[in-house]
Amino acid sequence: METLNRKYIVIALAAIASASLAGCGDQAYQETPVDTATAASPVTPSSSTTTTETTTETETTTLPALTFSYEVTGASGVDPVDSFGNILTDNILKVKVVAGTAGQIRLSDGTYSNWSAAYQCVQYKISALGQTVTTQVLAVDGGNSYICPGAPSEQTIDFSSRLTSGHGAVTVTVQAYRYDSCLNYGYNFGGCAMHTVYYTHTVTGTLDIQTNGTGS
């Protein structure tokens, strides 16, 4: 009897096992092997460094030329020379002379008369660094006098070659030289022609001085 019961128990267990396998498609669970050769490796984001180049532009500033106005009398007058000093430069010194109109007559005591000795053509003497240059005949305000037809109203004189190593500040001077004034003021001019500026008469003009760092 005991042997029979054991058979029933074995048969029952076999039936339960068979039913379990049938519910799983007659296949037991199997772990899927991983092919390490073809398995995807984790992707590490690549780090990139962006270098931004900053270009610094150096802007060179050019200053305007040094400008001086002058008014001088004839050689024996009360104010025959005008000087402009303390001009600093390295190796450039160019002086542009621009003709100006007549100033008021300067009397011997230094006072001004109500008159002026008008002219259309004029010359000056410009000095710097031990050199004196007489300008060509210049026309006032671009005029076209028969005394100086076609004359320019300005002239540039280059003193740069006179600058030597270690030089100091520069002084530029201007003097009246000749004009075509017809005013007979105690002096016989002999007609309207180029002649020496009378000592009480005044001539005017402008100097534009170009140095290192300034324009023309």
Higher pLDDT, 7 or 95: 95
Cα dist from 24 to 11, 20, 30, 157, 207, whole Å: 20, 7, 12, 114, 113
At residue 54, does pLDDT exceed 80?
A: no
Nearest to 117 by CA among 203, 186, 206, 205: 203
Region 27-51: what's the mean pLDDT? 49
Three-class HEC string of the chain: CHHHHHHHHHHHHHHHHHHHHHHCCCCCCCCCCCCCCCCCCCCCCCCCCCCCCCCCCCCCCCECCEEEEEEEECCCCCCCEEEEEEECCCCCCEEEEEEEEECEEECCCCCEEEEECCCCEEEEEEEECCEEEECCCEEHHHCCCCCCCCCCCEEEEECHHHCCCCCCCEEEEEEEEEECCCCCCCCCCCCCCCEECCCCCEEEEEEEEECCCECC
Say how many residues make up the chain. 216
Confidence (pLDDT) at 158: 98
Higher pLDDT, 11 or 108: 108
Q: Where are the domains positioned within the chain? A: 66-210
Confidence (pLDDT) at 143: 78
Amino acid at residue number 103: G
Q: What is the pLDDT of residues 110-138, one digit of tens each?
A: 889 888 999 999 999 999 999 999 999 99
> Which of the four CATH numbers 2.60.120, 3.40.50, 2.30.30, 2.60.40 does domain 66-210 have?
2.60.120
Residue 189: partners with Cβ closer than 8 Å, 6 or more residues away? 181, 182, 183, 195
